[in-house]
Amino acid sequence: MFGFGAKTIVGLDVGSSSIKAVELKKGRNGIEAVHVGLEPLGPDMVVDSMIVDSGTVSTAISKLFADTQIKQKAVATAVSGHSVIVKKISLPSMSDEELAETIQQEAAQHIPFDLADVNLDYQIMSDDTGSPTMDVLLVAVKKDKILNYTNVLSMSGRTPAIVDIDALALQNCYEYNYEPAPNQVVALLNLGASVMNINIVKGTTPLFPRDVSIGGHQYTDSLQKELDLSFEDAEALKLGHKIGTVSEDVKQPILQQVTEIIVLEIQKTFDFFRASASGEHIEKIYLAGGSAKVPGLIEALRQEFSLPVEVLNPFLRIAPPSDGSASGMMEENAGQMAVAVGLALRSFETL
């Protein structure tokens, strides 16, 4: 959304549990991955979508770029959480010039922050010729939130080219890979460690982007407390690995409790959506994020919503590097790479 001027850019997703980087290029047969990498972060480096330990995170970014041999300095990153407001507003039809002049005034009615404290951007979503109204997507992010990320990027020797919104980067990834039909309504869920990005999309139009302060760390915390495990062991157990003598019978009820909380939050969002979007019905759920791998989660979503649910594949239409260097990484961590791929796709203006 907020561009700073650059051509080829690396998608860099700074999450609570890891940093993901993706570099893409246009090849003969479409878009190819050049470099793909992931660098784990320890707990409490990024809290509530704010980078707390700038030095450690900037070092991790530098290490990730060195390990993956990414030379490109310009990056696109994304933010989410309480400091991010995304709203669809309906305005009387007007020219681009008129909208540019009035958008601050309109935004003041919808943004719960002082406009002097935010970066504001907008995009016309519907512009039917002859219609008396038009839909505009309004995005506001607190300036200190953007500085929190861009300062760390600068510390690591990178140049911030674009700051996007996680939910919209997720949509960008979905659009390119799945080429949705104009009237198809789907829910995109990115279940990260501490935040879940939800974006209900119709075709290529975001109908209901929302961030929920819940994530995969809740599984880890519960396993740690209930079973007296280290953070690392709880993380491994959460993702289906065998740890010591912990049996499935002991682990499963703990995971199930957290899954029920997450499903309830998704249900609330879907209820809000149905109340505000008359006649629109969600047809399918795509799940992304590191916690998409938690055993039982996909089955719980299918059962609760009676909808098809599948893990979003961010590399469905993206070829792996020709040298095969990242093929394993792309398969093993596909769910986690969706936002980074969506950001890297911003390199191609035609998309």
For the chain, helix (H) and strand (E) counts, in that order, are: 10, 16
Residue 128 banded pLDDT, cuts 50, 70, 90: low
| Mean pLDDT over the full length of the chain | 90
Residue 7 banded pLDDT, cuts 50, 70, 90: low
Q: Which CATH architecture has domain 2-84+139-218+256-347?
A: 2-Layer Sandwich (3.30)
pLDDT at 350: 42
Both structure tokens of 99? 């909208």
- The whole-angstrom separation of Cα 188 and Cα 194 is 17
DSSP string, 221-277: HHHHHHHT--HHHHHHHHTT---TT--HHHHHHHHHHHHHHHHHHHHHHHHHHHHHS
Residue 334 banded pLDDT, cuts 50, 70, 90: confident
- The whole-angstrom separation of Cα 173 and Cα 154 is 26
Buried-exposed string 43-66: b where 16+ CB fall within 10 A, e elsewhere: eebbeebebebeebbbebbeebbe
Show the CA angle centred on residue 201, arms to residues 200 and 204, nearest 5°. 160
Tell me the pLDDT tens digit for each residue of 93-105: 988 899 988 998 9
pLDDT above 80: residue 132? yes
pLDDT at 351: 39
Cβ–Cβ < 8 Å for 99, 124:
yes
Radius of gyration of the chain (CA): 20
Tell me the pLDDT tens digit for each residue of 74-100: 999 999 988 899 988 889 998 889 998
Lowest mean pLDDT, pick from 7-11, 18-22, 99-103 = 7-11
Each domain of the chain, given as residue ranges in start order, spans 2-84+139-218+256-347, 85-138
Cβ–Cβ < 8 Å for 125, 136:
yes
pTM above 0.85, yes or no: yes
Mean pLDDT confidence for 48-73: 94
- The whole-angstrom separation of Cα 344 and Cα 326 is 16
Cβ–Cβ < 8 Å for 343, 162:
yes
- The whole-angstrom separation of Cα 251 and Cα 121 is 45
For the domain made up of 85-138, give the CATH fold: Dna Ligase; domain 1 (3.30.1490)
Angle, helices 143-155 vs 54-68, to 10°: value is 50
pLDDT at 5: 45
